[in-house]
Chains A and B, each alone.
Chain A
């Protein structure tokens, strides 16, 4: 149980285009999902917290108009990188909160590697 999927697993796009990444909880409902980005050999940096049915909460320094988050259902959250540029190239990982044994466990998706040319 508690499986999180992401799609696509990797994407290459041209500078100026937009890219949408999907995060799905496959066997549980997730009222809250989190989006992270991870640069090579670095830690996970939280970008935003996505709550089902409401606006996402962005971390300081993350542009909400550039990284659009939609959490329209209890099993799906999407991250759209708008007008992507080479500096947006990174590994994007989502996680979903699972209610397991009364702990606030988060389970991670496999990540999406974005390369902007």
Chain B
């Protein structure tokens, strides 16, 4: 089955600097890669996702890149702010273009990001 490895487990950056979190996956059939942000005691929130037919996707200060050949994808946060401090999870799955059924997400181990003022 799919296995997702996430690094680093903790990351501390100065406010305004960039943060990069990397994930690798094992199943070459995976084609959907979401990133979730989870604040302490709260639900994971989807912040960005990418499908395998795209190499990069950007949404304001957040971007995700995907290298299908190497089977890794990364989250990039620029101009970091204190409210970016949280735990970030990457995930991988095979999505279906069908309402019936859904493929499960396999999560990475998480990265605790701390933004220092």
Contacts and interface: CB of A to CB of B under 8 A. Distances in A.
A63 B44 CA distance: 25
B95 A34 contact: no
A102 B105 CA distance: 16
Interface string A73-107: 00000000000000000000101010100111111
Interface stretch (A11-19, A40-48, A64-72): A40-48
A108 B43 contact: yes
A25 interface: no
Nearest to B105: A106
Interface of B is mostly: loop
A110 B49 contact: no
Given A44-B89, A44-B107, A105 B43 contact: no
Contact of B44 (A44, A49, A102, A113): A44
Interface in A20-60: 31-32, 34, 41-44, 46, 49, 51
For A41, A43, A46, A107, which residue has the most chain B Cβ atoms within 10 angstroms?
A43
A106 B43 contact: no
Contacts of A106: 34, 46, 102, 105
Nearest to A44: B107
Which of B89, B106, B107, B108 has the most C-beta atoms of chain A within 10 angstroms of its own C-beta?
A: B107
Contacts of A103: 32, 49, 51, 95
B104 to A, nearest CB: 6
- Counting contact residues on chain A (CB < 8 A from B), the size range is 20 to 34
A108 B105 CA distance: 12
A31 B101 contact: yes
A109 B110 CA distance: 18
Given A34-B104, A51-B101, A104-B32, A43 B110 contact: yes
Given A44-B107, A104-B32, 18 more contacts: A31-B102, A41-B112, A43-B107, A43-B109, A46-B104, A49-B102, A49-B104, A99-B99, A102-B97, A103-B49, A103-B95, A104-B96, A105-B34, A105-B49, A106-B105, A108-B36, A111-B41, A113-B41
